[in-house]
Amino acid sequence: MAIKITDECINCGACEPECPNNAIYEGGVEWAMADGTTVKGAFSLMDGTSVDAGQRIAPIAADTYYITANKCTECQGFHEEPQCASVCPVDCCVHDDQYNETVEELLAKKDLLHA
Ligand code: SF4
Ligand code: SF4
């Protein structure tokens, strides 16, 4: 299961540098698979869309920080617990029920992101 940021986010920015996968972006900023990963060339997103790793993709939120589930591994393979949730002062980094992934799937995602 990926982590998502709720609209209670106060835009403090504390979570962004803590993410080992560069999955967190400031509201309104476009994201890309290649940011902070080793992903290159064509890449298939979780919704089946095919993109280029360097392609800038429309932001998921405009007014608060957001997490792209395509890059969130719940910190598996790096840390004992989700780092964004650990540092967030208002506890607005919560499980995203849309994405039910096993630990094995999250570790496979981490390997895909950091070959
Ligand atoms: S749980 Fe970890 S990998 Fe996912 S967004 Fe938070 S810091 Fe990044
Ligand atoms: S740490 Fe929490 S409040 Fe601060 S930017 Fe991240 S999600 Fe928003």
CATH number at residue 56: 3.30.70.20
Tell the residue nearest (CA) to atom 6 of ligand 1: 84
Cα 72 to ligand 1 centre (Å)? 5
Q: What is the pLDDT of residue 2?
A: 84
Residue-wise pLDDT for 16-51, tens only, equals 999 999 999 999 999 999 999 999 999 999 999 999
Range of the domain at 108: 1-115
Residue pLDDT, tens place only, 42-83: 999 999 999 999 999 999 999 999 999 999 999 999 999 999
Classified as helix, coil or strand, 70 is coil
Note the pLDDT tens digit of each residue in 88-112: 999 999 999 999 999 999 999 999 9
Cβ of residue 1 lying under 6 Å from some atom of ligand 1: no
**Amino acid 107: pLDDT:** 97
Number of domains in the chain: 1
CA 40, 34, 60, 80 dihedral sign is positive
* H-state helical runs in the chain: 83-87, 103-113
